[in-house]
A and B are shown apart, each in its own frame.
Chain A
Amino acid sequence: GQNIDQPTEMTATEGAIVQINCTYQTSGFNGLFWYQQHAGEAPTFLSYNVLDGLEEKGRFSSFLSRSKGYSYLLLKELQMKDSASYLCAASDSNYQLIWGAGTKLIIKP
């Protein structure tokens, strides 16, 4: 079957760095998405990776290893506003998105 695994919850300190991991098993692969969702708000797009390697976008970076079925989202210089859920989703051979349950990130002062 198709499956996405990511930690349920993580805690980090303001100003620090945190890495949120995601492993996936899909029938075919057409890329991996990361979304951010603040409580009570819409998920918003953060990144898309389809090739191996690291994509950097400001304080956020996303990494993909297709051979390992693995991705991570790296958040640097954490701010209180980064407290949110982070959703990982893999696109399968039919371009259907397979979603993880999300990682709730708690930032402490």
Chain B
Amino acid sequence: ETGVTQTPRHLVMGMTNKKSLKCEQHLGHNAMYWYKQSAKKPLELMFVYNFKEQTENNSVPSRFSPECPNSSHLFLHLHTLQPEDSALYLCASSHGSDRFPNTEAFFGQGTRLTVV
């Protein structure tokens, strides 16, 4: 248990569905992140929120829409996804500002997403 909780752990969705991933942390961190992890590929940073403000959007397609209602919760809304979006989606949090300035990140266990 890392202090970062993600739900659901597994999700199968059709290309026309709309679903949301949820992340929650009660570590008192100010920064939260969404990462995509595909097999045998480096972690891909998708979005960064610092004090609830989005500070990073790494050219992520608009079919992924993040939401950060408060510093403890982060959502990733999904719609009209493609099969190549199937991956493990990891949420992380840290003390830092908009990056990881010498502070470690705490990761959730991820949501295994399969798009059919």
Q: Does A50 contact B (CB under 8 A)?
A: yes
Dominant secondary structure of chain B at its interface with chain A: loop
Q: Measured between alpha carbons, how far is A94 from B96 in the docked complex, in Å?
A: 13
Could you tell me how many residues of chain B have their Cβ less than 8 Å away from some Cβ of chain A?
21
State the Cβ distance, B36 to closest chain A Cβ, in Å.
11
List B1-40 residues whose CB lies under 8 Å from chain A: 2, 4, 40
Contact with B along A1-31 (1 / 0, CB 8 A): 0001000100000000000000000000011
The one of B42, B43, B109 in contact with A40, judged by C-beta atoms closer than 8 angstroms, is B109
- Chain A, interface size category, equals 20 to 34
The one of B40, B43, B104 in contact with A45, judged by C-beta atoms closer than 8 angstroms, is B104
Q: Which residues of B contact A8 (CB under 8 A)?
A: 40
Q: Measured between alpha carbons, how far is A32 from B4 in the docked complex, in Å?
A: 23
Q: Does A60 contact B (CB under 8 A)?
A: no
A50–B99 touching, CB < 8 Å: no
A30–B90 touching, CB < 8 Å: no
* A residues neighboring B (CB under 8 Å): 4, 8, 30-31, 33, 35, 40-45, 48, 50, 87, 89, 91, 94-102
A-B residue pairs, 4 tightest by C-beta:
A95-B99, A45-B104, A42-B107, A99-B42
